Amino acid sequence: MNLHLQRLPSARPGMAFGARVAALVLALLTAAAVLAAAGFAPLDLAAQVLRSTFGSRFGLEDLGLLLTPLIYTGLAVAVGLRIGAWNIGAEGQFNIGAFCAAGVALFVPGPVWLLLPLMMVAGAMGGALWILVPTLARAYADVSELITTLLLNFVALLLVYFVATGPWLDPSGHALATTARLPVAVPEFWGIVHWGFPVAVALALLLAVVFAFSRWGYEVRISGSNPGAARYAGIPVTRHLIGVMLLSGALAGLGGMMEVAGTVGRLQGGISNNYGYLGIMVAVLARAAPLGVLASALLMAVILNGGIILQTQGLTTNTVLAVTGLILLFSAIGDELAHYRVIRRQEKG
């Protein structure tokens, strides 16, 4: 009797979850071994990170501010993955959402109760419009959205830098490379954590319900897993692709609006803080599940917050990037291994 490996077309949920947990543990153990070899005490550092993050209200509020944009960008990427589209442009859509929302706040007069909804609409529409060309190129010309969405990130980043240092520069001269403080702000929800956080959680719950129980969610899932079969069954794959990608861009743009009007309070270069790129990892770790985005975004927020603490111990931000890279690498390996199972074959003869 011989043992052989057989690859299954899909991984069982339990195996996939176990692979993710094992990948996280192995990544952290590898990082701990490297830190120990460099002369640091990994357990002491981990204890300090957890104590600073969860041991005080200040740490929890900082965690909430980091968690909020990660949920929006994670949901943006996860929504695209549901139909097999890789939105690598959440970084750019996040910037454009912040740009459009700031423009409304700075140049449209009106009361707060009117301007805040207008800023939300402007942010979401800005993100959706920024992904429109890659969407149409993918839908009608089969152009890879990986390249088009990625390249537009740099255009959005430079646009924000241009207006923040030029036409929209703070006229008071009190701040450099930034606009004046926005006259409208997202109200606080708990301490310095604004209402963008509960809105993000509510969107994750809503998307989870829609994808699990609606006809649209079912058709999107089928269109992503087997477009040929979906077309044969009469499902409008192209229309769903366009709708899903526009929704993906709108979520990232809404995240940018919440960041500029809730956390930062003014438009400035680098406002995205790489949240769009980190959202890719959040979505991958969540296996494109909206509820999983909440858990993986929390993990990423803890790592980012831990990076700030680690810098006080002489470590650089590259340490955090290395840890996130290890998690993603081990997750990819674990995902592949989860598709295999050991079978026994009787020898003939």
User: Which region among 133-142, 217-226, 292-301, 320-329 has the lowest average model confidence (pLDDT)?
Assistant: 320-329
In whole numbers, what is the pLDDT of the chain averaged over residues?
90
User: Which region among 126-130, 267-271, 302-306 has the lowest average model confidence (pLDDT)?
Assistant: 302-306
Residue 309 pLDDT > 80: no
Residue 349 pLDDT > 60: no
- The alpha carbon of residue 76 and the mean position of all alpha carbons in its chain are separated, in whole angstroms, by 6
Provide the sign of the torsion angle of the four alpha carbons 96, 131, 240, 282, taken in this order. negative
Of the pLDDT bands very low, low, confident and very high (cuts 50, 70, 90), residue 345 is low
281 contacts 327 by C-beta, under 8 angstroms: yes
DSSP classification of residue 178: B
Q: 3-state class of 55 per DSSP?
A: coil
Of the pLDDT bands very low, low, confident and very high (cuts 50, 70, 90), residue 37 is confident
Rounded Cα–Cα distance for residues 278 and 66 (Å): 11
pLDDT at residue 3 in the model: 64
User: Which region among 142-151, 169-178, 293-302 has the lowest average model confidence (pLDDT)?
Assistant: 169-178
219 contacts 211 by C-beta, under 8 angstroms: no
pLDDT at residue 348 in the model: 56
pLDDT at residue 204 in the model: 98
Rounded Cα–Cα distance for residues 142 and 158 (Å): 27
pLDDT at residue 172 in the model: 82
No. of H helices and E strands in the chain? 14, 4
pLDDT at residue 50 in the model: 87
pLDDT at residue 144 in the model: 94
Of the pLDDT bands very low, low, confident and very high (cuts 50, 70, 90), residue 131 is very high
